[in-house]
Structure 1
């Protein structure tokens, strides 16, 4: 087990008593409370038993084997002046962010080796480390990397030169661009993390030496910057590089690495969190989560209470006020205002990387102060988001997990070589489904996740087997398969908060006399081989309101989010978003023969639906969130409701191309260009872009034959401004925005295009140009769609 990485400061302990179900409230004689300090059992201590989790690990294992280390190493060798051994991969690996995937791949190899004992995983990781060491030696500076830098002509060259410029104070930093490179320190962090994981995985000393060389290089870079310039650099996404330097300090105890770790501190984001202020709205979500993981690690090594407070506060705000029902967060990668989830149920919700990182942060907080509520979140996100992010047929991964009714999950398929960030975090997440499931401390064995597995608990000389129907059914059973010698010890089972204290805990079929503490049923006794400790939980359906708007609900079955099945992803869907109508909605749910599946009767409009576990809907269209109405309210609302639904569906059905302005990937995909002062903006939870006097922005949209309409979205109530809209340098409109234009609402303006502008073209370039001393926009999205034909 990675003891260095997991060492923690002990937290304080309190008592939680679960009532109901005939379970005793008093402590059983001689039973201790949950230990104040627990550590997770390593992946090497367990083997998964047949389940959806084991299937996911096996599929991911095959995916890792299919990847070519030499293709991932292409730029590392090329930029070091060495001949690449294989062609470069496409997608993001052919962009300036190249190299981030290799870091994820190293970690995934280590995790898979730990969970499967496949020697090929270890061989590949050692081979990659040796190749990195050779490239590092060839460069001779300590630096090794594959990240690129885009030239004015669009060609990509070795990105190392940007760090020399930064040291000289030549800094052009934005949210995702630093001196022409896409989030370079984020990419550096992924390599750091992968190398450190190889080092700890089986003690590979070369991995540590490469890391030390890389660390010394960036120590010099950061030492050249005063605090203001350092903050300027940190305005560009830097991943969890602070965590990596803190971890290097933990491995070496060299204080210089902690100095660097503490300097990697973004004042703008982290100071409010330390002060207990939620100012997350309009920040890119996954840029922030790793910063808090880094603070958590620094706290564990230094005892800094401010760092711990910021991490705890951030976790509480994100999980309770910024997260969707599946545990994921962010719309189109950004946080919105707290408790505004109901306004952001779109086709771009829940970036997988965010949840991957939130689960990391959760493990840190639990180790400080064990409490079942932390793993209530962990379980929810793990089951409903992480498990939903893998295509169970191909092993591909989602970037977003859309929660808009009827949306389809888009998977990065292995043969398409996209290599998004979420492909990297995906290959890690599905290599470690046993991680954090089982913990130990002070003679207690603790089950946090009911992942079927065979576990070796060395401290007690025990072999334990966890099986059961959970989470589809309500029972999980932990059997003592073998004991080196009979003995008295405690086993703690997490009782989820949604169970409302109605857990039934038995030993060998009889009441266990469990004591409850901090959300755990604790049974202490003299155990012997063959003893079976079982927990049974209530699994009826329940409704959960959306934070900030109890008129929007989701349906759950135990820990599982249920989805209304809207049909195959391959079939078109143009129906209205389903709603729920009635006073007792759950009375309309009927269990089917298949576990965790329900059919509705009379409570869903426009028609009844079959509800199934959301994570199993990889190739289906789903409805997760439902507006709920009483019968009278529905009669008054339905005409307006369906009319608006029809309008939105009509535009969607006729859309030729859509541009989400202000968002990193769509702007790249549509070849966004800017001149002068043009900036991404965020307002009322939506991303956009403007251009100030003397500036402009344009982008490319796909087109097709026939009459087309360009639609732009603006915010009502803007101060007076005027700007021109051009298509292929031909002005099609001058738009005036006034304070009286639909204040307090986003609104759309349509611009019919002369057919001569699009005839015979595959694409057009749309440009927004402000009038002199004025501003264009902000524009919160552009859609090109076919004009409605008469008849």
Structure 2
């Protein structure tokens, strides 16, 4: 999502006068139009119900489908700021996407399913749990009336409180989008925490939105006037009104599917009908080709959210309208593996791929899953960094040409827009559900650890990253371009797209821990002609989580100390414990179970990460055999299990008897090691650039001022770097003078002095990542005589010693006198 420049100062002054006069008129008008809140809510619900009945009775107009092999003109760039006047086009031989869709859906049945967030709880103490708590505090700090201010004014109401700032300010064309994110994030966090304050606020906001919808009429529900949509349909410059409506619709659907709000679903159906009416008018007056041309502008995931709505309602009109947002200029090339991603705006298109996959899940059309798979595979093989993120300054560049983007500012600061990362993670999760392919599970872990957790600033609520800087000598901190797209966001004066997806991402960090496949009963198997099978519980991400699964009478608890929590060289350990779930009234179940507890027909599928198998293989090769430290042990009623070191998922099947008070546990020991991953850039000056990883974690280099690169043969680089042992880590200290507050610090190769840890100046965005803390860190090495030697952390092997003049300096001890080796 690109930030737009504001109007000239003279225009702003004129608008301010006009807005002031408008406020006087609206306030006077509002006094005569106001109705009691209770009566208004009742009228809203009645109007929405009547409107829903009318919509079902209206016959859908028919539109001739494009013939197979239609040739269309596609611009080299599409996204925010697209202008048809100066656009450059190429011809595309498009496949037939059957738009508008008029077929009979046959949804696939073999996909995995995600558990409701109501069933999943993060365990206290993990990095993910701490991140969710910070995000919860931010959600609680937001005044809902601030986010509703522009909505109420657009409906002719007198707003409460003060308007929001940043992208939600009253003059911003994107206003209203953050309220949709807020509804989604609140629903997700409430599901995980059962927080009563969030519950009340969600009800308040949905009720207020219903009042806005009743005043606007016709199903329209927005914080901006309809004229912005008119400009979109004329392909005139406008800041993404359909992007905002997508966020609103998604927030309403999350309020229904997660929080159970039937009013939110009614509002979503009404808004979808309004959108559908506009689509039908464009088709009847301007034709399908013109409608496709409007999709060169940014419109969020309108196809995605409408396919979700179609899955809920089953209505043919919702499928029809969803298909009209399946963009042929983007989706058609994926069918033939044609790379047209260069110069494309990344966050405009990832949501479209998500929508294509959801179309497959609604209609059963296999080509749409193929399109999503081909897109993500193309992205991962040509444009992703080691962190899993992609894009630079919001766009994708040429394939396999990333090296020149990783230098100092300005190129080194604007990598992997957070929105793109969050949406790519959604696509990877959905593709894993649909395909069960392990490469998507590995990618989910890589993105969660390296692309999501680091986008929220420690314990500071409401401070998120727009861009994730990956360049040389850069920092996350400093902001310096319009609307704060660099650096940490301001909690109340920002409200960007990445802040919106950020509050959602940190509300559902446990979503990909467990998946399940329901059992195939004997009756269902006989009807389909296939074999029966037990229910499957898949463990995919090592995020400490508790699962409650009433249908199988199981409580599953995963405890794990992953790569985030253990010293280098120490295996990551995970234990999955299953205990019987005692229910007051057991839900309807399928499949056999024992008389006292766990079902007998439950199969466990435990992911063994590829980084762990690679580390084990390397250790086994080094040691001349063995398991390399990759081990699994089980206790309890497990009939059979597979622990093959060469497979991605280990499988265990439960058998009776398991009685109340007993448990089944599986313990995994996963070795991790340093390893390298080459940059996707074969050009001579960049072909040796690599990322250094420990297990799934991408490491950051905290180097001395004169060193910004690691040198050496790539295949030997991981052997040349030795992890700091756990006992040495406990010896790392910093020394600070009590009076001045200055730290003992290393300067150059030999000087040591007291100085303040000042951050460098930022003359251009995030210029100058600091290594001051690195220089002020020492290792306190005990000596036999009771003294302590101070070894420079930045210069191993050099110790602090007094010079002949009495000053401190760094020296390399004489041979044989070194107090301790690493």
| TM-score, length basis structure 1 | 0.66
3-state SS, counterpart of residue 159 of structure 2? coil
Q: How does 1:577-596 map to 2 (within 5 A)?
A: 577-581=708-712, 584-594=716-726
Matched, 1:564 2:640: no
Does structure 1 conserve the Cα–Cα contact (< 8 Å) formed by 2:113 and 2:515? yes
Match of 2:807 in 1: none
Does structure 2 conserve the Cα–Cα contact (< 8 Å) formed by 1:363 and 1:436? yes
Match of 1:66 in 2: 141
Matched, 1:506 2:645: no
- CA deviation vs aligned residue, 1:600-622 (integer Å, no higher than 9, x gap): xxxxxxxxxxxxxxxxxxxxxxx
Match of 2:577 in 1: 479
Does structure 1 conserve the Cα–Cα contact (< 8 Å) formed by 2:356 and 2:368? yes
Q: CA deviation at 1:414?
A: 4.3
Match of 1:534 among 629, 642, 667: 667
Q: CA deviation at 1:202?
A: 3.1
Does structure 2 conserve the Cα–Cα contact (< 8 Å) formed by 1:373 and 1:496? no
Match of 2:156 in 1: 81
Match of 2:271 in 1: 214
Query: In the comparison of the two structures, how many residue pairs are matched?
Result: 552
Match of 2:190 in 1: 113
Matched, 1:491 2:604: yes
2: CA distance, partners of 1:247 / 1:62: 30
Match of 1:162 among 221, 224, 228: 228
2: CA distance, partners of 1:423 / 1:65: 15
Q: CA deviation at 1:164?
A: 4.2
Q: How does 1:700-715 map to 2 (within 5 A)?
A: none
Match of 1:349 in 2: 415
Does structure 1 conserve the Cα–Cα contact (< 8 Å) formed by 2:149 and 2:159? yes
Q: CA deviation at 1:315?
A: 1.0
Match of 1:525 among 654, 666, 676: 654
Matched, 1:548 2:667: no
RMSD: 2.8
Match of 2:235 among 162, 166, 172: 172
Does structure 2 conserve the Cα–Cα contact (< 8 Å) formed by 1:505 and 1:511? no
Match of 1:470 among 553, 562, 571: 562
1: CA distance, partners of 2:373 / 2:204: 39
Match of 1:406 in 2: 473
1: CA distance, partners of 2:232 / 2:677: 49
- CA deviation vs aligned residue, 1:132-168 (integer Å, no higher than 9, x gap): 1101111123212113xxxxxxxxxxx312334566x
Q: Unpaired segments of 5 or more residues in structure 1?
A: 1-6, 12-35, 148-158, 568-573, 600-651, 660-791
3-state SS, counterpart of residue 399 of structure 2? coil
3-state SS, counterpart of residue 581 of structure 1? coil
Q: CA deviation at 1:566?
A: 4.4
- CA deviation vs aligned residue, 1:502-559 (integer Å, no higher than 9, x gap): 4321114999842559620111233743332011112111111112334111111111
Q: CA deviation at 1:477?
A: 0.8
Q: Unpaired segments of 5 or more residues in structure 2?
A: 1-104, 407-411, 478-486, 520-534, 567-571, 582-595, 617-629, 732-759, 768-822
2: CA distance, partners of 1:294 / 1:598: 49
- 1:80–1:566: structure 2 CA closer, same or farther, 3 Å change rule? farther
Q: CA deviation at 1:96?
A: 1.3
Q: CA deviation at 1:416?
A: 4.9
Does structure 1 conserve the Cα–Cα contact (< 8 Å) formed by 2:641 and 2:650? no
More strand by share: 1
Match of 1:456 in 2: 548
Q: CA deviation at 1:655?
A: 4.8
2: CA distance, partners of 1:275 / 1:339: 19
1: CA distance, partners of 2:382 / 2:417: 17
Does structure 2 conserve the Cα–Cα contact (< 8 Å) formed by 1:452 and 1:468? yes
1: CA distance, partners of 2:766 / 2:258: 45
- 1:62–1:166: structure 2 CA closer, same or farther, 3 Å change rule? closer
Q: CA deviation at 1:579?
A: 2.7
Does structure 1 conserve the Cα–Cα contact (< 8 Å) formed by 2:425 and 2:444? yes
- 1:223–1:469: structure 2 CA closer, same or farther, 3 Å change rule? same
3-state SS, counterpart of residue 144 of structure 1? coil
Match of 1:313 in 2: 374
Does structure 2 conserve the Cα–Cα contact (< 8 Å) formed by 1:436 and 1:449? yes
3-state SS, counterpart of residue 73 of structure 1? helix
Q: How does 1:210-249 map to 2 (within 5 A)?
A: 210-225=267-282, 226-249=287-310
3-state SS, counterpart of residue 413 of structure 2? coil
Match of 1:198 in 2: 255
Does structure 2 conserve the Cα–Cα contact (< 8 Å) formed by 1:495 and 1:519? yes
1: CA distance, partners of 2:447 / 2:651: 25
Q: Which moved more, 1:556-565 or 1:410-419?
A: 410-419
Match of 2:358 among 297, 321, 331: 297
Does structure 2 conserve the Cα–Cα contact (< 8 Å) formed by 1:329 and 1:354? yes
Does structure 2 conserve the Cα–Cα contact (< 8 Å) formed by 1:74 and 1:85? yes
Match of 1:743 in 2: none
Match of 2:806 in 1: none
- CA deviation vs aligned residue, 1:671-728 (integer Å, no higher than 9, x gap): xxxxxxxxxxxxxxxxxxxxxxxxxxxxxxxxxxxxxxxxxxxxxxxxxxxxxxxxxx
- 1:115–1:596: structure 2 CA closer, same or farther, 3 Å change rule? farther
Q: Which moved more, 1:581-590 or 1:274-283?
A: 581-590
Q: Which moved more, 1:372-381 or 1:117-126?
A: 117-126
Match of 2:536 in 1: 444
- 1:322–1:351: structure 2 CA closer, same or farther, 3 Å change rule? same
Does structure 1 conserve the Cα–Cα contact (< 8 Å) formed by 2:146 and 2:162? yes
Match of 1:688 in 2: none
Does structure 2 conserve the Cα–Cα contact (< 8 Å) formed by 1:490 and 1:522? yes
| TM-score, length basis structure 2 | 0.64
